[in-house]
Structure 1
């Protein structure tokens, strides 16, 4: 199915789960660090006020939606059967044996610990080989040296835009990792949507219903769709002048 949809000048890839899985397998087998962004409405808000970010992001190997509402903002675009949110990254961690070692860069210690817990719930055999939080104040050189000493298969960067895009653009050729995923501005959403169910639900085997209800609740919240539609309208009006 592979294709591209242009959203505010950014080429966003459209692909099936099978294509995505195959591509990730090819990424971990080559000698270069491949860059993948998973973009949200907040990404495009950052782009709307800082167009310099766009050129750096275009150098990525892959750009995918981080949330389904992003594609829903494009009228008539169907989201079934394609990679349309961060959940497909969690699926890879859970169902495939592509990534063995994961390194996390997050906004703060709390987010980093919550992300570690979330990732290990997908696959407890994954090795979280290192982590850093932005609020710890470490230098970029210190962080890069720690990443390179661990050589992770997956470098997961979950800091906010525009810091996320600027950091990757500036340091991409200094870092030794197989795949770098820039997953911006949706850390809190990921954690809320994937909180562990109450113990009584786990004990009674109702945990799948719990996650189905939570997913439906967030999916039906169209706030992000309205934000994207407003950004697209502003972008198109400006482009038409």
Structure 2
């Protein structure tokens, strides 16, 4: 039975990292495909303003709180989620667990050459994890049938889709029924991190909810995009004090 926390009309799973890993394994043992999305505060704000995206997020079989902003929002509303479950950390924990309880992974996303580099690093860093296919994230609509066939022919259990939000969520939602995998996961920059093309924020920043600050320091062009973070918290405060009604 899922425990959900409603944050501005979006239903976040009240779940720990360990529970999320176990649930993914339960999906693998089932006979159908499942979707896992990992929204941070920016994606949550997009979901609030985009009805279609909100519906896609709420259709997920697991929707975890990826980021301190989402956790803070749950606390402001008095419905605190168990903990932050970031997309990269969930992916990493699945790669680690797969050495004892096998999972076949497919990596989809990133610039040409990046998924292959991520594959090589996974072999070194996560002994026992099995990558059965890779595909970069540069494609046209005409390529989608070929990509779906490649994924299906690989025999993958879990598909990491790293196209950036909201493109990855929209792609999974559109093609979920055509895919033979058991779990599709929207994981943002996870492949870039696995490939060491992008550095993960140091532990200090991650442990204190300051990943956004580190990312802004490394990528100042994100400034305009990150304005959605304070906008999201102000929106949540508006709900808290009855100034905004959630539809």
- Structure 1 residues 18 and 115 mapped into 2: Cα distance closer, same or farther (>3 Å)? same
Equivalent-residue separation in structure 2 for 1:8 and 1:120 (angstroms): 40
- Structure 1 residues 11 and 119 mapped into 2: Cα distance closer, same or farther (>3 Å)? farther
1:6, CA displacement in angstroms? 1.6
Q: Does 1:104 align with 2:107?
A: yes
CA contact (8 A) 1:33 1:179 kept: yes
Equivalent-residue separation in structure 2 for 1:182 and 1:107 (angstroms): 13
CA contact (8 A) 2:160 2:184 kept: yes
Indicate which of 88, 91, 98 corresponds to 2:90.
Answer: 88
2:146 is aligned to 142
CA contact (8 A) 2:36 2:60 kept: yes
Q: Does 1:21 align with 2:21?
A: yes
1:82, CA displacement in angstroms? 3.6
Q: Does 1:217 align with 2:205?
A: yes
2:129 is aligned to 126
Greater shift in the superposed pair: 113-122 or 163-172: 113-122
- Structure 1 residues 75 and 59 mapped into 2: Cα distance closer, same or farther (>3 Å)? closer
C-alpha distance after superposition, 1:193-234 (max 9, x if no partner):
18xxxxxxxxxxxxxxxxxxx211344426479843422433
- Aligned CA RMSD, in angstroms, stands at 3.2
- TM score, norm. by length of structure 1: 0.76
Deviating 4+ runs (over 3 angstroms): 73-79, 95-99, 117-122, 185-191, 222-229, 234-241
Structure 2 residues not aligned, in runs of 5+: 214-225
1:83, CA displacement in angstroms? 5.2
Equivalent-residue separation in structure 1 for 2:83 and 2:61 (angstroms): 18
1:24, CA displacement in angstroms? 2.0
- Structure 1 residues 116 and 145 mapped into 2: Cα distance closer, same or farther (>3 Å)? same
C-alpha distance after superposition, 1:67-116 (max 9, x if no partner):
3443134445767x645223133123113434431111113225424543
Q: Does 1:231 align with 2:232?
A: yes
CA contact (8 A) 1:94 1:122 kept: no
